[in-house]
Amino acid sequence: MPDRRALPYTVGIDLGSTTTKAVVLGEDGRVLGRGITNSRSNYDTACQVTLCEALINARFSLVAAELGAARIEAARREALLAGLERRFRLQQYLGQLKALRAAIAAVCGAVRPDRTVVGAAEEILERMRQDAPALYQEGARRRSDFFRDLAGSLYLRAAEEAAKARGIAFDVLVGLFDKAILQVENAPAAAGSFEDHAGVAVGALTPRVPELEAAVRRVLDVDLVQVASVGTGYGRARLPFPEGRIRSEILCHGLGAHALFPGTRTVLDIGGQDTKAIQVDGGGIVTSFQMNDRCAAGCGRYLGYIADEMNLGVHELGPIACKSGRPVRINSTCTVFAGAELRERLALGERREDILAGLHRAIILRAMSLLARSGGVRDQFTFTGGVARNPAAVGALERLVQENYGGLTLNISPDSIYTGALGAALFALRDGRREAA
Q: Are 22 and 99 within one domain?
A: yes
Same-domain pairing of 237 and 268: no
Kindly provide the residue ranges of all beta strands, DSSP E only, lying in 299-394, ordered along the sequence.
381-384
What average pLDDT does the segment 46-73 reach? 94
- Tell me the C-alpha to C-alpha distance, in Å, between residue 437 and each of 279, 328, 424, 431, 432: 31, 59, 20, 10, 9
CB atoms within 10 A of CB 155: 25
Residues 6 or more apart whose CB falls under 8 angstroms from that of 146 comprise 37, 38
Structural domain total, the chain: 2
Q: Is the backbone peptide bond immediately before 91 cis, with ω within 30 degrees of 0?
A: no
pLDDT higher than 50, residue 1:
no
Q: Which of 223, 248, 273 is the last residue of a domain?
A: 248
Same domain, 187 and 320: no
Q: Do 132 and 275 fall within a single domain? A: no
Percent of the chain's residues with pLDDT above 70: 94
Tell me the pLDDT tens digit for each residue of 277-291: 999 999 999 999 998
* Mean pLDDT in residue range 176-192: 87
- Same domain? For 295 and 157 the reply is no
Higher confidence at residue 251 or residue 432? 251
Nearest-angstrom CA–CA distance, 111 and 56 = 37
* Same structural domain, 275 and 298: yes
Q: CB of 326 within 8 A of CB of 362?
A: no
Instruction: Say yes or no: 118 and 152 in one domain.
Output: yes
Choice among 117-121, 173-177, 205-209, 410-414 with the minimum mean pLDDT: 205-209
CA separation (Å) from 146 to 36, 44, 142, 411?
A: 9, 18, 10, 28
Average pLDDT over residues 120-149: 90
pLDDT of residue 338: 61
User: What strand order describes the sheet that includes 31-38?
Assistant: 31-38, 19-25, 5-15, 222-232
Residues 240, 205, single domain; the answer is: yes
14 and 147 belong to one structural domain: yes
* DSSP for residue 329: P
**Rounded distance, CA 291 to CA 286, Å?**
13
User: Same structural domain for residues 288 and 228?
Assistant: no
Range of the domain at 377: 262-412
The pTM is what?
A: 0.88
Flag whether 431 is in a domain.
no
CATH number, residue 380: 3.30.420.40
